[in-house]
Amino acid sequence: MLYNPSDYPTSPGIYMMKDDNGRIVYVGKAANIRKRLGSYFRPDKTLSPKTQVMMSRVNKIDIITTITEKDALLLEASLIKKHKPRYNIVLRDDKQYVLFKIDLTQPYPAIQLVRKAGRDDSLYFGPFTSGNAARQTLKVINKVFLLRKCGHKKFRNRVRPCLQHYINRCLAPCCLEVDQQEYRKLVDQVELFLSGKSESLLNKLNQDMLKASQELKFEKAAIIRDQIRSLHQTVKSQSVVIPGGDDLDVFDLVQWDKGLCTGIIFVRQGKVLDNKNFFWPEQDISENEDMENKLVSILSQFYSQDSFIPEKIVLPVKLTDNSIRQVLSEYRGKNVNIVRATGENMKSLLRMARHNSLQAAFRSKNVPGVDLSKIFKKEAEIRRIECIDVSHQSGQNTKLGKVVFENGEPVKPDYRIYNLPNVASGDDYQALSEFVSARVRKGDPWPDLLLVDGGIGQLNAVIKTLSTNNIEISFQVAAISKGPTRSQGQLHDQVFIPGRKNPLPLKPGSPELLFLQKVRDEAHNFAIGSLRRSRIRSLRQSQLESIPGIGPKKAKALWDYFKDLDLILNTSEQELLNVPGFGPRTAGKVLKALQQYKNEDQDTTS
């Protein structure tokens, strides 16, 4: 019997439902594990269709008890991200969104685009889900406000103003004397702009322009006038939706066409900044309690310690689970209010989130997909694909690139490069064997399809290593290689699977073959790109080693620290002391060698 109430405790914890192959298909949390599991073993007519299908595949249930429900929530989110169970809501796009950062500890702060909000004295503004939208905003800021554009290292080492200064886009505090108070006024203006207080900023600039003209400083007045004109164009697109200027995120969750959609609206200083949408096919909401559990799971995955978390989060229902509020408040370092949408303003934002999510779901459902389960004769849908490609340079510096696709889309945060220094020259089989051994140590989640760039030999090398490591191959393994008649511009690739001598009968140009080629090409380009970047680094390091007095160890230490040849050549003795392993004596010798190299180089070019 799969469920016996006396076998399970009444304490908080998480439960993991597994199929016949031991793969986790669902992870859940509960304040009372026994009571929660009991809700799955009711008569079928009382369960949702999705739950019925899921329970028909469950062969085993494992549990982990925790002290508090908050601990259970954190553990559940961690396990969902790791195992990506089929029947859980999984936020595939778990990258951190773009934020603007102003480091107030610097005497002349620059504005940066970052993906993590640190717990420091910096100011953070955002998030932007679109990196392009963030860069467009940064373009406006760089045009209007004369803050420095260079990074900290270049700022410290620059000896003359750059082009930005000469086109009137930077005050050049790196080289020229700039009053810190005047510079701080510019920073305050940027802060007003990014905080959505554009009207206050425009009023202040108008006052500054009037004052400058009264003092007969017409050049300064003209610069401020141009700032005001540029800002007016940007402010036109902003509209107030929440009087009072609140920061909040609005989440809605809605059932649509055998799937579940979530829409998120980001409101900053009372104005809509951006939005984000997710769609999960085959998910549903069976009852109000189920909606609460799903919302809690979404919030626990969407936010992390590095996220920007607003003071208020608005949902379509009231949460009885207080653990998520505790977790998010700890992440933020301040209290977070999670409330149900009330009042016309909040409900209007909720409708906006719902509309956006339904539109995004409709578009995703109408994108023609490729069903690989048919060509591989698999009952289960092939959703996650890992594709691997071995690359080397004349048999040396062997690397293996791995790319991941889910539901037809690349999952770039899961891309990996494996450096394989012990592989014999040009031995692809050994490289594949070492990768598989490393992949076995990592463990779940295994993909639905492991695709190898190569032929039957490469495929057999993978299968042999999997068997040697006692891995029960419940997933599909295949290899894709160029066909015997394939020349440039033709489409006849061959796909091999274990136990079959001849390739699968796929028509050239068929959607399935084109998609597999796309995945393979992505893996190939990823591996080749890594190899080229490594080669460039080696060449630059070799250039350093050619300087008398700098050997391989010093060259590597310099390159690892500065990562730019120009920065190394223009460094100071004080900066060299920050390089790991460099003392005063070494720093002095290296600086002397670098200066001598620069002088000789200038004599040669003059």
Residues 6 or more apart whose Cβ sits within 8 Å of residue 524: 389, 391, 401, 453
Q: Name the pLDDT band for 606 (thresholds 50, 70, 90).
A: very low
Superfamily of domain 248-365: UvrC, RNAse H endonuclease domain (3.30.420.340)
Q: What is the CATH number of domain 5-83?
A: 3.40.1440.10
> pLDDT tens digits, residue range 493-542?
889 999 888 889 888 778 888 889 889 999 998 988 887 777 666 655 56
Per-residue confidence (pLDDT) for residue 488, from 0 to 100: 42
Q: Name the pLDDT band for 240 (thresholds 50, 70, 90).
A: very low
How many helices (DSSP H) and strands (DSSP E) are in the chain? 20, 18
**Considering the domain 381-497, what is its CATH architecture?**
2-Layer Sandwich (3.30)
Token pair 């020229």 is found at 176
578 exposed, middle or buried (CB, 10 Å; 0-12, 13-18, 19+)?
Answer: exposed
| CATH 3.40.1440.10 segments of the chain | 5-83
Per-residue confidence (pLDDT) for residue 245, from 0 to 100: 65
Residues 6 or more apart whose Cβ sits within 8 Å of residue 564: 153
Is the model's pLDDT at 552 over the cut of 80? no
The answer to whether residues 415 and 388 touch, using CB atoms and an 8 Å cutoff, is no
- Residue 13: alpha-carbon gap to chain centroid: 29
Which of 12-26, 206-220, 277-291, 397-411 has the least mean pLDDT? 277-291
Per-residue confidence (pLDDT) for residue 490, from 0 to 100: 46
Per-residue confidence (pLDDT) for residue 600, from 0 to 100: 57
| CATH 3.30.420.340 segments of the chain | 248-365, 381-497
Max avg pLDDT among 162-176, 348-362, 455-469: 455-469
> Which region, left, alpha or beta, applies to residue 482 given φ > 0 means left and ψ of -120 to 50 means alpha?
beta
Going across the sheet that includes 271-281, the strands are: 271-281, 259-268, 248-255, 312-315, 337-340
Q: Name the pLDDT band for 604 (thresholds 50, 70, 90).
A: very low
> Which region, left, alpha or beta, applies to residue 578 given φ > 0 means left and ψ of -120 to 50 means alpha?
alpha
- Residue 165: alpha-carbon gap to chain centroid: 34
Decide if domain 546-605 falls under CATH 3.40.190.10.
Answer: no
- Per the model's pLDDT, the better-predicted residue between 314 and 2 turns out to be 314
Per-residue confidence (pLDDT) for residue 95, from 0 to 100: 57
> pLDDT tens digits, residue range 117-157?
777 778 887 777 666 667 777 877 787 788 888 877 778 77
61 strand-pairing partners: 17
Max avg pLDDT among 15-19, 369-373, 597-601: 15-19
Residues 6 or more apart whose Cβ sits within 8 Å of residue 453: 387, 388, 389, 390, 479, 480, 481, 520, 523, 524
Mean pLDDT of 296-318: 89
- Average pLDDT along the chain: 82
CB-CB neighbours of 140 under 10 Å? 14
The answer to whether residues 271 and 349 touch, using CB atoms and an 8 Å cutoff, is no
Per-residue confidence (pLDDT) for residue 545, from 0 to 100: 65
